[in-house]
Amino acid sequence: MRKLDATGLTCPLPVLKARKALNEMQPGDRLELMSTDAASALDVPVFCHQSGNVLLEERREEAVWFFLIEKKKAT
């Protein structure tokens, strides 16, 4: 599993960095994204839905949101 720390970055950077990381990964690989940007709570699920990647988990611990994303399977 790859981890991406996007804490301290504001919209749209967490999603853009997640997209770049996922593009470098293999289908079925997982990315844990950490963000402190409140907009990520909306942006990441929308990004996953639109891109076909799977949002496996979403949780918040104090001011940090954690997202576990699985790269979409090859078609």
Please give the positions annotated as active site.
Answer: 11
Strands 64-70 and 30-35: antiparallel
Query: How many Cα atoms within 13 Å fall on the side-chain side of residue 75?
Result: 4
Distance, first Cα to last Cα, the chain: 22
